[in-house]
Amino acid sequence: MLMQQLLNGIVVGSVYGLFALGFTLLFGVNHIMNMAHGSVFMWGAFAGLFAVLQFDAPIYVALLIGMLAGGAVSVLLDLVAFRPLRRRGGPEFSAIVSSIGADLVLISIAQKLSNTAVMRFPFDAFPVIFFSFMGMRVQLLQLVIMALVVIMVVGLVWYLYRTSFGLRIRSVAYAEQTSRLLGINPGPVNMQVFFISGALAGMAGVLIGLVFNSVHFAMGEPLLLRAFVIIIIGGLGSIPGALIAGMVIGIVQTLSVAYISSGVAEAIVFLALFVVIVLKPTGLFGQPTAAMRVQRA
Amino acid sequence: MINFFNTYQSLLDHILVNMLLAASQYVVLRAGVFSLGSAGFAALGAYCTALLTTKLGWNPWLSVVVGMMLGTLVSALLALPLSRLRGVFQAVATLAFVQIVLSATQNWVALTNGPMGVNSIPHAAGTASLLLIVVAVVVFLVMMGRYSFGRALDVIREDETVAVSLGISVPYYHRIAFVLSGALAGLSGGLHAISSYSITPQDYGFGLLVAALAMVVLGGRTTVWGALVGALVLTSLPEVFRVFADYRAVVQGLLLMLVIIYLPRGLADTVIAHLKDRRLRRTAAPPVIAAPVGVLTAQTRSRS
């Protein structure tokens, strides 16, 4: 029983990690908190579901469509909500407010489209196959999710640290003015980062929609709040931090839902956040520079 | 006129209560504290007031005072660790506080009735008394803003290094602003409880947090008038534009984005700065000293 819950926690936690990865990447490069990241996630899930329901798309196509939709919404956010502010050099505070506004708009459009209904993937969208492993029931879906997360993370790390695109992203993250002097145009770099983080969120959206078998317009908000916890505990802008903290939060949440109650689970998670932020604001894996980069509101 | 008043009385009450909430958010933002905790303190004040009046039968006004004191006390405790943090970290820590309060109100069923909320709270606060309280708070904030306290907050917001070099203790003023914000939010929550018959946990979640922030951003965050204008506009907008009731969140979201991008100082602050500029230009002598009059100098000169 405990092992089973641990496994479920790790699966959910790795999807959380995937979502938080995009969130932390945006913070690391652009130094913004994208409060609309939760609705990017939700729109990814909507697009995947739409592909399955309307076109009978197989699930891997739905995943791709979810990723593309998430990336597109995220790039649109950059163009509409963040770029005008960046051009003016507005403080961090205004980016947060502007993305809250964008979040409200995206959520209410989705609410209109879905008529406030909770939608589900068809039962046979993903083959339900169980394996028995050391007394645990392991679903095929869970294995696929873990494999996907590993592939995405390895791919992202390869992209960031082994390609020239990644080099540009890292140099803009480190010092935007200096990279401008060196001939790197930050515009396309930012757009890439927004696309990548949106695609990760869109994929997480389809996966969470499959795991819990429900897709609805308000699914982004709880995940966004959890992502806050994850990236703070893991350290702002830290990739391994986001993944490990995502797993931890997933496990803690699953265990406390199973053994105590779901309300207590929320309280425990946010209490942990509060303790970490007060005692060690840079998180477990964050670098002190990340904290220094944070400007005044 | 009387008819009009009767139709819109509950809206008016709501606007007045929201003005106090916006004032609470304004106090912290003016000091450059990025706190999102007002919704949490409002929840504490509201639940304290509602439970004291319904379960123990206390006098509603006395319970409001106790609710406000609870908000003050909790914010004083939180202020100690929070004054060490900055920017995004303050925002996320206070967000965590709001979520903790929210899950307590939802899950501590024995005390708070859980998601059902507290019902049949005596309706003790009339429009007149609410108006009186708002006026008193505004007078208090305006007076305080005019003297060294307000100036210290302005300097800290504009440039912390300058504030430190002038001998202003940043953590001290951050703490005071945060405690004041907690007290005002607690008051606003308590008054909301005794002017709206029932409260539920959902009233004090992420939505209220966003609303408080939106009011101050829309109105402007350097003068208390900004908070008042923001509360007035954002609370009455959905009522006035009933046609758009379905698209209320869209309108609110677009408004937030447009204001922060194109009018970053907010409605009231832009107007006030404009008026001050004009007055300065008129009183300021010949164009010999036509050096560009910055905003900061304009403010300090007109105040002295």
Q: What is the pLDDT of residues B56-98, one digit of tens each?
A: 888 888 888 999 999 999 999 998 888 887 777 888 888 888 9
Across the interface, of B87, B217, B257, the residue whose CB is closest to A296 is: B87
Number of domains in chain A: 1
Tell me the shortest Cα–Cα distance from B84 to chain A, in angstroms: 8
Contact B33 A229 (CB under 8 A): no
Do the Cβ atoms of A294 and B89 come closer than 8 Å?
Answer: yes
Tell whether A257 lies on the interface with B, counting CB pairs under 8 A. no
Q: Report how far residue B134's alpha carbon sits from residue B19's, in angstroms, rounded to the nearest whole number.
A: 7
pLDDT at A85 over 50: yes
The CA angle B280-B286-B291, to the nearest 5 degrees, is 65
List of chain B residues whose C-beta atoms are within 8 Å of the C-beta of residue A100: 210, 213-214, 253, 256
For residue B100, give the chain A residue with the closest CA.
A267
Contact B32 A221 (CB under 8 A): no
Transcribe chain B into DSSP letters.
Answer: -HHHHHHTHHHHHHHHHHHHHHHHHHHHHHTT----THHHHHHHHHHHHHHHHHHS---HHHHHHHHHHHHHHHHHHHHHHHTT--HHHHHHHHHHHHHHHHHHHHH-HHHH-GGG-B--------HHHHHHHHHHHHHHHHHHHHSHHHHHHHHHHH-HHHHHHTT--HHHHHHHHHHHHHHHHHHHHHHHHTTSS-B-GGGGSHHHHHHHHHHHHHH-SSSHHHHHHHHHHHHHHHHHTGGGGGGHHHHHHHHHHHHHHH-TT-HHHHHHHHHHHHHHHHHS-SGGG-----HHHHHHHHH-
CA atoms within 13 A on the CB side of A293: 20
* 3-class state of residue A136 by DSSP: strand
Q: Give the pair of three-digit tokens for residue A277.
A: 């932020």
Q: Best of B162, B173, B260 to disrupt the A interface by mutation (most A CBs within 10 Å)?
A: B260
Instruction: Map residue A137 onto helix, strand or coil.
Output: strand
Of A183, A147, A141, A189, residue with least CA distance to A166 = A189
Of A249, A214, A255, A297, whose CA–CA distance to A20 is shortest?
A249
> What is the distance between the alpha carbons of residues B79 and B83, in angstroms, rounded to a whole number?
6
Minimum mean pLDDT range among A121-125, A264-268, A284-288: A284-288
**Which residue in A105, A228, A296 is closest to B86 by CB distance?**
A296
Among A11, A10, A20, CA closest to A200: A20
CA A7 to chain B, closest CA, distance in angstroms equals 26
- Residue A88: pLDDT over 80: no
In chain B, the percentage of residues whose pLDDT exceeds 70 is 89
Measured distance CA(A184)–CA(A17) in Å, rounded: 30
CA distances to A167, B42, B176, B216, B228 from B182, in Å: 46, 8, 10, 16, 18
Q: pTM for the complete prediction? A: 0.83
Write the residue in A100, A236, A294 that is nearest to B86 by C-beta: A294
B237: tokens are: 């907008």
Q: Do A294 and B89 make contact, defined as CB atoms within 8 angstroms?
A: yes
A123 in a structural domain: no
- Judged on CB neighbours under 10 Å (0-12, 13-18, 19+), A68 is middle
Helix, strand or coil, per DSSP, at residue A139: strand
User: Which of B129, B93, B42, B255 lies closest to A108 in space, CA to CA?
Assistant: B255
Cα-only R_g, chain B: 20
Q: Does the beta-carbon distance from A296 to B160 stay under 8 Å?
A: yes
DSSP single-letter state for residue A119: B
User: For position B140, what pLDDT does the model report?
Assistant: 92
- Residues forming a β-bridge with A119: A215
Q: Considering just the CA atoms, what is the radius of gyration of chain A in Å?
A: 19
Q: Write out residues 126-185 of A within 8 Å (CB-CB) of B.
A: none
Cα within 13 Å of Cα(A134), Cβ side: 5
CB-CB neighbors (< 8 A) of A281 in chain B: 85, 89
Q: Does A124 fall in a domain?
A: no
Cα A216 from Cα A110, distance rounded (Å): 8
Residues of B in contact with A271 (CB under 8 A): 96, 100
Nearest CB to B256 within list A97, A294, A296: A97
Q: Flag whether A65 is in a domain.
A: yes
Render the burial of B219-230: b for 16+ CB within 10 Å, e for the rest: bbbbbbbbbbbb
Contact between A196 and A156 under an 8 Å Cβ cutoff? The reply is: yes
- What's the gap in Å between the CA of A210 and the closest CA on chain B? 26
Neighbours of A174 (CB within 10 A): 12
| Averaged confidence pLDDT in chain A | 85
| A4: helix, strand or coil | helix
CB contact residues (below 8 A), chain A span 104-123, against chain B: 104-105, 107-109, 111-112
B124-140 pLDDT tens trace: 777 888 899 999 999 99
List Cα–Cα distances, B106 to A217, A219, A287, B199, in angstroms: 22, 19, 36, 12
- A189-208: pLDDT as tens digits: 999 999 999 999 999 999 99
Provide the residue range defining the domain that includes A281.
Answer: 2-116+130-293
Mutate to test the interface with B, among A277, A279, A280, A295 (most CBs of B within 10 A): A277
Count A/B contacts: CB-CB distance under 8 Å.
132
Q: Hey, what amino acid is at B121?
A: I
Q: In this predicted structure, what is the pLDDT of residue A64?
A: 93
Which candidate from A94, A232, A270 shows the least CB-CB separation from B100?
A: A270
Residues A111 and A100: their CA atoms lie apart, in Å, by 16
Q: Do A297 and B32 touch (CB under 8 A)?
A: yes
For A213, how many CA atoms within 13 A lie in the half-sphere containing its CB? 8
Query: Between residues 4 and 43 of chain A, which touch chain B (CB distance below 8 Å)?
Result: 33
pLDDT at B21 over 60: yes
Cβ(A226)–Cβ(A45) under 8 Å?
no
Q: What is the pLDDT of residue A294?
A: 41
CB A155, CB A165: distance < 8 Å: no
Residue A121 covered by a domain: no
Report residue A90's pLDDT band, with 50, 70 and 90 as the boundaries.
low
| Cβ contact B92–A109 (<8 Å) | no
Given a contact cutoff of 8 angstroms between Cβ atoms, the answer to whether B152 and B173 are in contact is yes
Say whether B214 and A90 touch across the interface (CB within 8 A): no
Cβ–Cβ gap B257/A101 under 8 Å:
yes
Which residue in B85, B92, B253 is closest to A104 by CB distance?
A: B253
Residue showing tokens 């008529």: A115
Cβ contacts of A293 within 8 Å, gap of 6 or more: A31
Widest pairwise Cα distance in chain B: 73
Asked, for residue A271, whether it belongs to a domain, the answer is yes
Nearest to B92 among A103, A232, A295 (CB): A232
Q: Are B189 and B46 in contact (CB under 8 A)?
A: yes
CB A204 within 8 A of CB A19: yes
Average pLDDT on A2-8 reads 85
Out of A85, A270, A295, the one facing B261 most closely (by C-beta) is A85
Chain A residues with beta carbon closer than 8 angstroms to that of B83: none
Assigned token pair, A197: 């983080």
- The CATH number covering residue A261 comes to 1.10.3470
Question: Closest to B217 (Cβ–Cβ): which among A97, A264, A294?
Answer: A97
Residue that has been written with the tokens 């509360």 in this structure? B231
Q: Which of chain A's residues have a Cβ under 8 Å away from the Cβ of B86?
A: 294, 296
Closest CA–CA distance from residue B235 to any residue of chain A (Å): 16
A10 closest CA partner among A280, A283, A254: A254
> A45: part of which helix (H) or strand (E)?
helix A37-55
Write out chain B residues lying below 8 Å of A260, CB-based. none
Per domain, the residue ranges of chain B are: 2-264, 267-304
Residue A297: pLDDT band by 50, 70, 90 thresholds? very low
Residue A140 lies in a domain: yes
Can you say whether residue B167 is alpha, beta or left, with left for phi > 0 and alpha for psi between -120 and 50 degrees?
A: left
Identify the pLDDT of residue B292. Answer: 53
pLDDT tens per residue, range B10-20: 888 888 999 99
Say whether pLDDT at A293 is over 50: no
CATH of B2-264, one of 1.10.1060, 1.10.10, 3.90.660, 1.10.3470: 1.10.3470
Q: Which residues of chain A neighbour B115 with C-beta distances below 8 Å?
A: none
